[in-house]
């Protein structure tokens, strides 16, 4: 009862103004206090997990991944593309910068798509050295692609 008297004192002795910020503030204040009281442990846990992940790294399970056909194909594609990029970077004079490198990779993708769709690939404004490198890339990838297609067909026939 004593707390009630203190809280309600201004209502009994002074006129209450209208508008925001005036009136009875205790229930709203209690809500915020309990909210913060509940949020502090959650934030502590979150910060502790964040720090441990930052300092110790993530813990992955010891389960080994099975090597699927899709994973093998992805690795081979990446290795072929990296080999092409390394060859482009090792050209004489090293005049081909990163801006052109993206263009050449796009051209190699276009060449591969045109090979798969049985269309002619007509590069525009490409130096002969780079065109030959891209053709070698497509040839290597096509050999691998045909071999894997034949293996799949043989396994389906069995």
pTM of the model: 0.53
pLDDT digits 0-9 by tens, 54-76: 888 777 666 666 777 777 777 78
d(CA 50, CA 16): 48
Residues 135/126/83/86 CA torsion (nearest 10 deg): 160
136: tokens are 């070698």
Mean residue pLDDT of the chain comes to 79
Distances in Å between the alpha carbon of 147 and those of 13, 89, 126, 142? 94, 29, 30, 8
pLDDT digits 0-9 by tens, 121-133: 888 888 888 889 9
Work out the burial of residue 88: count CB atoms within 10 Å of its CB; fewer than 13 is exposed, 13-18 middle, 19 or more buried: buried
């Amino acid at each position: 009862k004593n707390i009630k008297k203190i809280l309600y004192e201004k209502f009994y002795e002074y006129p209450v103004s209208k508008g925001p910020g005036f009136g009875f503030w205790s229930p709203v204040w209690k809500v915020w206090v309990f909210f913060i009281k509940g949020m502090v442990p959650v934030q502590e846990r979150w910060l502790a997990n964040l720090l441990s992940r930052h300092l110790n790294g993530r813990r992955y399970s010891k389960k080994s991944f099975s090597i699927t056909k899709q994973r093998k194909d992805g690795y081979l594609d990446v290795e072929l593309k990296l080999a092409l990029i390394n060859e482009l970077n090792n050209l004489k004079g090293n005049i081909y910068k990163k801006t052109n490198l993206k263009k050449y990779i796009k051209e190699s993708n276009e060449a591969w798509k045109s090979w798969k769709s049985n269309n002619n690939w007509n590069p525009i404004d490409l130096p002969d050295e780079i065109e030959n490198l891209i053709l070698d890339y497509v040839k290597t990838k096509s050999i691998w692609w045909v071999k894997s297609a034949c293996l799949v067909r043989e396994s389906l026939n069995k």
